[in-house]
Amino acid sequence: MRTSAPLPLRFLRLTPVLQPPSESSSSKPTAVCAQKAIQTLLQHESAEGASYEARLHALSQKYPSVPQSLFALCIRLGESPSKEHPALDVERLKVLVVALKIMLYEIYVLGPDRVDRLKYLQQMVEACEAGAHGQKSTVVAFPN
């Protein structure tokens, strides 16, 4: 049984568009789509904060098993272009798209699978302890 919300339909619609751009293609549509996907993720996960960076930091705290480097890359590369953050070149946009895809996979696929595996292992530990002592185990293999 999965404890995290399934991958939202909004991401499934954005994911095919989130292809790293080629050298000859324009990166602007991909950049806009990547930024929209990040904003959708932040909204879906109710990541609160006064800024884009603060919201991504809040999300990183919610999912500590997701590598922090993914959040750092999204902070560094995912903000909308401005004076402080110029538009991304093709290579940096490729990095952002790949980081975002890995982050989504970590949150919505690996995370729930990890929880399921740990619950199964906990049940096995409890069954072993119960069989050995005739009662429910007090050993918690993986506390929350």
Note the pTM of the prediction, 2 decimals.
Answer: 0.68
The whole-number pLDDT of residue 137 equals: 52
The whole-number pLDDT of residue 4 equals: 47
At 50, the amino acid letter reads A
Low-confidence ranges of the chain (pLDDT < 50): 1-4
Give the integer Cα–Cα distance in Å for 20 and 139.
47
The whole-number pLDDT of residue 82 equals: 66
The whole-number pLDDT of residue 83 equals: 60
Q: Write 75-82 long-range contacts (CB < 8 A, 24+).
A: 78/34, 78/35, 78/38, 78/52, 79/35, 79/52, 79/53, 80/35, 81/31
The whole-number pLDDT of residue 127 equals: 87
Find tokens 């699978």 and name the residue. 113
